[in-house]
Amino acid sequence: MTPDLPALFHAIVRLEIELWNAVEHRLRTEHDVALSWYETLNVVDRIESVTVNDLVRELTITVGGASKLSDRIQSAGYLRRIPHPTDGRSSILELTTDGARLLEKLRATVARALDSLIGQALPPDIVQRLTIDIGTLRSNLGGTTTTLESATR
């Protein structure tokens, strides 16, 4: 029997939207911060010498979107730009002290939200299998492969 790939596509897209909205609601309610800010701060913390182009690749957004997003987060005092040592057209993004403190709080909120939304619904072995399978699908599409290590940070 051929799998119903359109139904799978629909389920994945709707799940992503519903999860995003639920986690975003928690972050806005508890910290008055958008999920896109959490995602950005997380990338800046995880990747050494991160640039706007790294945000583009990691977050799967446009250069303009990544630039505007990092500008807004910088204006709020959570990021700083320092000149790139070898590329005069680029800057390296770093968390400020306030940004690092905020990210710690956001990570705790996201962890609690995901535990209630996913962790309580699925056993750990299924979560691990899904993480691997989604990474395989993303790799097939040319996206960044999701590893268990990066997915749990």
Q: How far apart are CA 117 and CA 140, in angstroms?
A: 27
Token code pair at residue 23 = 């986690």
Q: How far apart are CA 136 and CA 146, in angstroms?
A: 8
- Write b or e for each residue in 71-80: b if 16 or more Cβ atoms lie within 10 A of its Cβ, otherwise e: eebbeeebbb
Contact at 8 Å (CB) between 26 and 36?
no
Q: What pLDDT does 148 receive?
A: 42
Can you name the residues that pair with 79 across neighbouring β-strands?
95
Q: Provide CATH 1.10.10.10 ranges for the chain.
A: 5-121
The tens place of each residue's pLDDT in the chain, 153 residues long, gives: 678 999 999 999 999 999 999 999 999 999 999 999 999 999 999 999 999 999 999 999 999 999 999 999 999 999 999 998 888 888 999 999 999 999 999 999 999 999 999 999 999 999 999 999 999 998 998 865 444 444 444
Q: Which fold has domain 5-121?
A: Arc Repressor Mutant, subunit A (1.10.10)
